[in-house]
Structure formats: structure tokens, C-alpha cells
Structure 1
């Protein structure tokens, strides 16, 4: 049986393996469980990962949860958009994609949309159509090239990010968005430019915030995501947050909570 120290070491080693690629083997990992108080004050349980790229340093709240893989849900709209533009499955960010004409859980989804409009509305049927256009072979090739989570897309091309088998951890989400922010993913510059513009949600002072939410519905309670990166004063900070959401009101807590955590780490400006 592993000693308590051995278990802690093994957990930290596993978590570091998620954070570090071959070129990041010396990255510093800093556990900031003192910031659990911010989760407590918000009334939720969760994890937060922030990668300070220039300092080669990663901060984490709740190490074990940050290494746990779950469905990416609507955060997969980020790689789905990259793949759609890069393969030509969607011609450009002006092409209107049909939603299919069927009743949807939200009326705002019952419209044909461009991808910039669809990502803002988090329109599931639009992105399901996009995935069908891409097809399994091309989708798998890009998911592999992106080293995205467990890389498993299964046999149902328009469900795998919602119900599995695709899973990803908070560490891996932050690593993925850091590679996107730094133009390290294998896509064309035009593809990068389009998705970069789509993900910009806010500017404040010298800081720009690029991000996407998601709700993993196959868990009890449901799990809410918020992932992305901040560009500030020439620096890049990639982040991933996930929280348990036993109540619908918890959905609205993700972004304010993430901002508070980034303010505590001196990344996002304090109003």
C-alpha cells in the first residue's frame, strides 16, 4: 500500500504530466488551495488552473480535481471551429450553417447561424451539423494532432463531446488554450485569426479575455466549464475552471468566479 507521502507525490507527478509537454518539463507547479475560499464564498465546489506562460509556472486549486477528465461539452466548440475552418467544412466566418429545423431546448438555437453567432449562443445543433460535415476521419486526425484530452471520439460523430467518450481535464484544457493562444496548433493562420476573433469576449484596460463556457450534463450534479486565456501587456495566461452545479443558478457563477480567481493571481484587472 502506498504511504500518504507516496500517494501525494504520485498525484502531483500525474498532474504535472498533464501540464507539461516535452518542452515544458521544467514547468513549476504551485498549489493554491488557499484560493478555495473564493469557491466557498461563491457557494460552489470546483477547480481552477492558470498557466503563466512567460514565467513557465502553473497555479492550481484542488490538484486532484484538476487532473480528473470529464466531457468537454461546449468548450469543444473551440476545436470544432478550428477544424471546421481548417478543413473547409465551413467556408469562412460568414457562411450561414443550418440548424436542422427541429425544435430545440432553447428558442435561440432555432436559427441558422454563422459560427461566430453560434459560438456566442452556444448553439449545439449548429455545431453538430459542423461535426457531421467534418466527418469521423478528419475529426479524429485533428483531435490527435491537437493532443486533445483522451483523444477518443467514438462512433457517434455529433455526440462524442457531449456524452463521451471524449474527456479532458482542467490541466489539459488550459494546455490546449495556451497552445491556441500562442499559435502552436497545426492550423493555418487564417483559421487561427477567425477563431481568435470569435473567442474575444471582453477587453478591460490592457487586458483582453478570450473564453468559452460549457455544461457537462452527463454528471450528477452537472459540471460547468469556463476555459480560455488572457492577453495582457504582452503576456499570455491560459486558464480552465470547472465547478459542480447542483442548481441552475450556479451557471451564472462561472465567469465571475473565474475573474475573481484571476484577480487574486494578478492576471485580470480589478475594477
Structure 2
């Protein structure tokens, strides 16, 4: 899939500063209690898009940037489709033929197959096909975090230099949900399709987890996404420190519990 430059440059993004100046901020004691009960340090941000109201646990941390880890698969998919690095989300990419950390990764996969199992090798291949110059250009177009790719095209989102805040994550995913990114609508639609986690009569939930393991040992977990419920759109982002392996397993359950504590799901 390849699109003209004029299409890619259409539209404007809200900056992180504009998001930070939202008209209504509310600290959630209920969500804070959930984090305390789970025994983890982190942040949770929920944006009610229609009301432009934010509910947050740990605002200072919500504005702090970290490596996006596998949550970058959303942006990587969108960019790959846009520049024609892959024809569509059902086109197979090679895994490389070598033993991998997870046995389920050891075969060629499409992006539709790779997203739910978070297949790192497939998305590294996608990033290499995009290439450094196009990746930098598209990250700038997205205004994605600090937009830094460094020298390693296939790992810059894992330990850095790319970083993004929870607040910025909510801005990115809600614009993806609304077709408000300056990218082709078909590319956004295909990205949304493979990010869908759950569809019920009451709501549809989209999201992606991430786990960053930097050299300093300060592991960090993510869960970001959006929820469509009762005709309204809510974007959310959670990150937390992973000090013990079981903390990684808290990402989605704690995120879901936070959404429920705020009257959703």
C-alpha cells in the first residue's frame, strides 16, 4: 500500500502541550487504590474525548516519557502500510528462520497474526523495510513522542532513544480511532482492525501491551488503547514499573480494573 505525499501531509495533529492544557483534569482516588492494592508504581490516564475530560492517577508520571516497547507496533503498522513496506495486514513477513525466545514466533506471519502474539521479529523486519529515513519522516508527521530513532532501525522503540508519555499515548490512539491522523484512512482502518481486543453488545475495546527491558534493569510495562462505549470514545494509557515478573501480568488486569472503577466496561 503506497499513498501520495499530499495525502500523508493532510491534517494537523494536536501537540502534547495542547493535551496537557485540557480543560478538565480529575485525580482518581479509586484508581490509586487499585495500584496500591496491586503493589505497583505507575500511572493511568483516561480521556473522555467528547467531554475533553481527563481522569488520571499520578499526573506527573503521566507526563513522563518512556520507551514505548511493543505499544509501538500500532505506529509501526500504520507507517509500514502507508509507505508501502507491506501490502496489507495479511501479507506474510519472514521471521528469519532462527530459534527465537518464543516458539510461537518461529514462522512467517502477517501483521494480523503478529500483533496479538506481539511477534518482535516480524515487526523488526517491517521496520527494516520502512528504513531509517522514512521512519524518521513518518514519526515527525505523527508527532510521536520525542520522534527519536537513533542508529538501530530495528530496536529504537525497545530501550530508546524513542520515548513517549502516557498522556501522548492517549492522544495518538484517540486520533487513530477517529481517522484524525494525517495518514491514509485505509492504513488507519487496517491498523485499528488488528488492534481490536474485544467486541460485545455494549462496547468495543482496542489496545496493545508493551514491556521495556533497558540495560539499567528498570523494566517498564504498558497497556494503551481506546474504548468505544455508549456512543462515546475513551482513550487510555497505563504504565507501571516491573520489579518482579508477576508485575508484568498486572498490566491488562489493572487497566481493566481501572476502567471499571471509572464506570466503563
Note the 1:94-243 alignment, pairs <5 A. 94-218=90-214, 220-243=217-240
Shift of 1:206: 1.5
8 Å contact from structure 2 (residues 46, 54) kept in 1? yes
Cα RMSD for the two superposed structures: 1.5
**1:11-30 equivalences in 2 (<5 Å):** 18=16, 20-21=18-19, 25-30=21-26
Deviation at 1:18, TM superposition (A): 3.2
Structure 1 Cα separation of the partners of residues 165 and 22 of structure 2: 20
Conserved? CA contact 2:22–2:54, under 8 Å = no
Alignment partners' CA distance in 2, 1:29 and 1:251: 28
What count of residue pairs does the alignment treat as equivalent? Answer: 250
The CA deviation at 1:25 is: 5.0
What displacement does 1:156 show? 1.2
Q: Distance in 1 between matches of 2:49 and 2:17?
A: 11
TM (norm. structure 2) is 0.90
Q: What is the CA distance between 1:132 and its match in structure 2?
A: 0.5
Gaps of 5+ in 1: 1-16
Relative distance call for 1:258 and 1:238 in structure 2 (3 A) is: same
Q: Deviations over 1:156-183 (max 9, x none)?
A: 1111101211001111111111111111
Q: Secondary structure at the match of 2:250?
A: helix
Moved over 4 A (4+): none
What whole-Å deviation, never above 9, does each CA across 1:10-30 have from its counterpart, x for those lacking one? xxxxxxx83625xx8553222
Structure with greater helix percent: 1
Q: Residue 80 of structure 2: which of 81, 84, 89 is its match?
A: 84
Distance 2:247 2:37 in 1: 13
Shift in Å at residue 97 of structure 1?
Answer: 0.3
| TM-score normalised according to structure 1 size | 0.88
Rounded to whole Å, the distance in 2 between the matches of 1:249 and 1:97 is 32
The alignment partner of 2:101 has SS state of: coil
Distance 1:40 1:249 in 2: 15
Contact kept in structure 2, 1:19 and 1:172, CA below 8 Å:
no
- 8 Å CA contact 1:30–1:58 kept in 2: the answer is yes
CA deviations 1:118-153 (Å, max 9, x no partner) are 111101111010000001111111111111000111
Cα offset, 1:204, TM superposition: 3.2
Structure with larger RCO (C-alpha < 8 A, sep 6+): 2
- The answer as to 2:263 corresponding to 1:266 is yes
Tell me, yes or no, if the aligned pair for 2:30 and 2:261 is still in contact at 8 Å. no
